[in-house]
Structure 1
Amino acid sequence: MSITSGVCLDGRDVLLAAVAVKLALQRFASQGQPPPRGMTELFAALEAAAGSMSPPRQDADAEPLPGPDWLTTDQTAEALGLSRRSVQRIARQLGGQKIGGRWLFDPPRIRLEATARAEDRRTA
């Protein structure tokens, strides 16, 4: 069976698709399973397309667009020394964005938060 239809993505949709495919690839890898045929190539194509785009315009107060390097809930929990559930509860305060049912976090913002929490522990 061959697929004869297609989908055209641009702007934020390319970035979101790249994030979704990267998360899927990570899940397959964590389960020790090979990804479906073509998924790695799809991610490479989406990443290349995202890299060749000019940055999308955003309002000054808008959160940055999630990229393939954003942190998962588990990674954020580890960085902050919190449980996964605690991170989910404060995800919006941490600047998290929910994509495809999963929270994603901006690494520089989480580094700042981790530094602030470490400083609070030292002064407490």
Structure 2
Amino acid sequence: MEKTIEIDGKEISFKSTGGSAIRYKAQFGKDFFAEVVKLNSLEKLTKIDTEDFKPEDLEGLDTTFFYNVAWVFAKTANKEIPDQLAWLDSFDEFPIMDIMPDLMELVTAALKTKKK
């Protein structure tokens, strides 16, 4: 699955393939699917604007996962992009929370089965 998202005035392609999970592990040394399972912490983010939010709600949430996923999917779509830090530094703004819903579609596509 492939998506193009505008970030900081640039059209960036993101792509999820069968190799995305292997690329993630090769780059970051962590299992992609195990990291996705940890995303249950995301529901804690929905409390930030409510009275129920407590700072400890964010314990265990590693926000670098989001940047890692963005870079892996961008690198999968375009082999010419530079290393992760240089790529992220090329943006004046990188609103990760704004683009995560689109990237999560790609994560879901990597996890889906076509079996009925």
Taking structure 2 as the reference length, the TM-score comes to: 0.28
Report the structure number with the largest CA radius of gyration. Answer: 1
Larger fraction in strand? 2
Taking structure 1 as the reference length, the TM-score comes to: 0.27
Name the structure, 1 or 2, with higher relative contact order (CA <8 Å, separation 6+). Answer: 2
